[in-house]
């Protein structure tokens, strides 16, 4: 029997643009394009809002707020406040509070998209048929412009015995409504450490197993060591130079096998959280049918304006490997919209590295690390101030951490900062903005900041710069 072309390629529904994924770039871009009068389709296979809304930023920061409340309540005596009885955490209510915020955000995205004129929302898995067409179930969509915003998911390495144990990842952690007796966190980086501290504060025993010689290996050694001190100070067990190589079920417990030179080779706990990195959602997208280039880890290759190797196809957010944050995904949307709609040639390389690690106290980061500056061979200046010398931190009884800023000795421009301390996820922005303004550090040094704040010590720190030896 001869199969006709019409059967292989059923009639496609034509759009001006197709957006795949409703993460942190797709919805804003789809709405912006639709508002110009273009006919746009946006496809989502699972939860509106993607990772940030459903199992990333919003739920974790909501849970962290509950964990911090428990922590502060336990420390009430330090402030002269008496709370009779012991502090108990009701995880069902903690989860319900988180679920409510997530649901409101998810429904907000869905309603926004579904109520936008010229925008068709299609629910299902999108897969490229070729460079202009995308299949979603029985439907075939066609457009000259296609925007990929498929994000990523937790990486699950093929470790021995992994299929015999019920491990958790950042998504399944969202269903936990109890306090695990002993949570073993595999991976001592951003995602793992936020969960580690949160669950310690909820009342779990927590062990972090990290194969590297320090936590958050991308950070400077002094930052990494300080983070370790903070977490150990709360009773978290940290195993460094310990590579997880396998799992074994032991009754209702999990045994994690560890390759290490010191310490136990087996860590036994009640639950395991795998936080060993992320992978892009590109393996089931049919990129090969469209000829879109990906690297060996599956990240879509893009240029400075987020164009893929195929004309008319763009990739935004985590799937392009150029950022791993909500703000980088949103900035990708701004770059694409500026180039396509505003005649403004914004580029990825214009942005300055910026992120926070939401342990408590948080780490706010901008620009280069000290290690990167040393490697660059540039002549640098450094300013550093422990949080014990910040009045606001002392008044609040939270003096862990330090602030560090790096300056180019010749141009006087700020090159980077690592601020680990109370409110430093906010304070970092005064440094970030002066970097964007391309102004010398002396502008902040002469600024009059408000007393008493953590920010008021930034001009002081900049007045005490020393050559980076």
Ligand X SMILES: Cc1cc2nc3c(=O)[nH]c(=O)nc-3n(C[C@H](O)[C@H](O)[C@H](O)COP(=O)(O)OP(=O)(O)OC[C@H]3O[C@@H](n4cnc5c(N)ncnc54)[C@H](O)[C@@H]3O)c2cc1C
Q: Are 286 and 125 in contact (CB under 8 A)?
A: no
Measured CA angle at 249 (ends 246, 250), to 5 deg = 125
DSSP letter, residue 78: G
DSSP state string for 430-456: HHHHHHHTT-BTHHHHTS-PPTTSSTT
DSSP H stretches of helix in 184-325 = 190-202, 221-233, 287-290
**Residue of 327, 429, 449, 451 with catalytic role:** 451
Q: Do you know the residue count of the chain?
A: 469
Least distance from ligand X to the Cβ atom of residue 221, Å: 24
Compute the least distance from the CB of residue 42 to ligand X, in Å.
9
Q: How many CB atoms lie within 10 A of CB 351?
A: 17
* DSSP characters over 184-202: EEE--SHHHHHHHHHHHHH
Smaller CB distance to ligand X: residue 60 or 418? Answer: 60
CB of 52 to ligand X, least distance (A): 4
**DSSP per position, 153-176:** EE-----BTGGGS-EE-TTGGGG-
Pairwise CA distance, residues 316 & 305, whole Å? 10
Residue whose CB is less far from ligand X, 27 or 459: 27
Residue in this structure with the two tokens 């949570």, named with its chain if needed:
183
**CB nearer ligand X, residue 87 or residue 140:** 140
Q: How far is the CB of 61 from ligand X (least distance, A)?
A: 6
Q: Which helix (H) or strand (E) holds 6?
A: helix 5-8
Distance of closest approach, residue 194 Cβ to ligand X, in angstroms? 7
Determine whether 451 is an active site residue: yes
* Minimum CB distance to ligand X smaller for 24 or for 226: 24
In the three-class reduction of DSSP (H, G, I as helix; E, B as strand; rest coil), residue 410 is classed as coil
Residue nearest to ligand X (CB): 151
Among candidate residues 315, 311, 281, 316, the one with its CA nearest the CA of residue 131? 311
When the beta carbons of 50 and 180 are compared against ligand X, the nearer one is 50
Rounded Cα gap, residues 22 and 12, in angstroms: 22
User: Of 430, 428, 408, whose CA–CA distance to 420 is shortest?
Assistant: 428
Nearest approach, Cβ of 325 to ligand X (angstroms)?
3
- Tell me whether residue 327 or residue 351 sits nearer to ligand X (CB atom): 327
- As given in the structure block, the two tokens for residue 440 are 């010398």
CB 191 within 8 A of CB 56: no
Least Cβ distance, residue 397 to ligand X (angstroms) = 25
Q: Which residues bind ligand X (CB under 6 A)?
A: 20-25, 43-47, 50-52, 56-57, 60-61, 125-126, 149-152, 170, 191, 281, 285, 317-318, 324-327, 329, 358
Identify which of residues 51 and 66 has a Cβ nearer to ligand X in the complex. 51
- Positions marked catalytic: 451
């Amino acid at each position: 029997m001869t199969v006709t072309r019409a059967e292989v390629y059923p009639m496609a529904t034509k759009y001006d643009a197709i957006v795949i994924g409703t993460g942190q770039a797709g919805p804003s871009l789809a709405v912006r394009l639709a508002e110009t009068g273009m006919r746009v389709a946006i496809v989502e296979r699972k939860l509106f809002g993607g990772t940030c809304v459903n199992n990333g930023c919003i739920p974790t920061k909501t849970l962290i707020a509950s964990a911090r409340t428990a922590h502060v309540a336990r420390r009430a005596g330090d402030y002269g406040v008496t709370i009779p009885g012991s502090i108990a955490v009701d995880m069902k209510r903690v989860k319900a509070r988180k679920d409510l915020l997530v649901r409101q955000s998810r429904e907000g995205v869905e309603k926004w998209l579904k109520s936008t004129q010229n925008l068709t929302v299609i629910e299902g898995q999108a897969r490229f048929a070729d460079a202009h067409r995308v299949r979603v179930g029985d439907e075939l969509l066609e457009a000259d412009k296609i925007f990929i915003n498929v994000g990523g998911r937790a990486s699950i390495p093929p470790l021995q015995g992994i299929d015999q144990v019920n491990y958790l990842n950042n998504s399944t952690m969202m269903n936990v409504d109890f306090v695990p007796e002993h949570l073993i966190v595999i991976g001592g980086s951003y995602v793992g450490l936020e969960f580690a501290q949160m669950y310690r504060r909820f009342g779990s025993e927590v062990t972090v197993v990290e194969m590297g010689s320090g936590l958050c290996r991308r950070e400077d050694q002094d930052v990494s060591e300080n983070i370790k001190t903070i977490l150990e100070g709360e009773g978290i067990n940290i195993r460094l130079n310990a590579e997880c190589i396998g799992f074994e079920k032991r009754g209702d417990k999990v045994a994690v096998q560890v390759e290490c030179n010191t310490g136990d080779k087996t860590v036994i706990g009640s639950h395991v959280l795998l936080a060993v990195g992320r992978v892009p959602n590109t393996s089931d997208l049919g990129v090969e049918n469209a000829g879109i280039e990906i690297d060996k880890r599956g990240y879509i290759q893009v240029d400075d304006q987020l164009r893929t190797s195929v004309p008319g196809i763009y990739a935004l957010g985590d799937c392009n490997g150029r950022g791993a944050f909500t703000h980088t995904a949103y900035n990708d949307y701004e770059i694409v919209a500026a180039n396509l709609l505003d005649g403004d040639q914004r580029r990825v390389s214009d942005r300055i590295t910026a992120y926070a690690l939401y342990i408590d106290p948080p780490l706010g980061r901008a620009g280069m690390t000290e290690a990167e500056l040393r490697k660059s061979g540039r002549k640098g200046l450094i300013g550093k101030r422990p949080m014990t010398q910040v009045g606001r931190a002392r008044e609040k009884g939270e003096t862990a951490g330090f602030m560090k800023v790096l300056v180019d000795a010749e141009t006087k421009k700020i090159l980077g900062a690592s601020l680990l301390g109370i409110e430093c996820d906010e304070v970092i922005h005064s440094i970030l903005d002066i970097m964007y303004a391309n102004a010398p550090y002396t502008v902040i040094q002469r600024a009059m900041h408000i007393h008493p704040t953590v920010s008021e010590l930034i001009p002081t720190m900049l007045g005490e710069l020393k050559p980076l030896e």
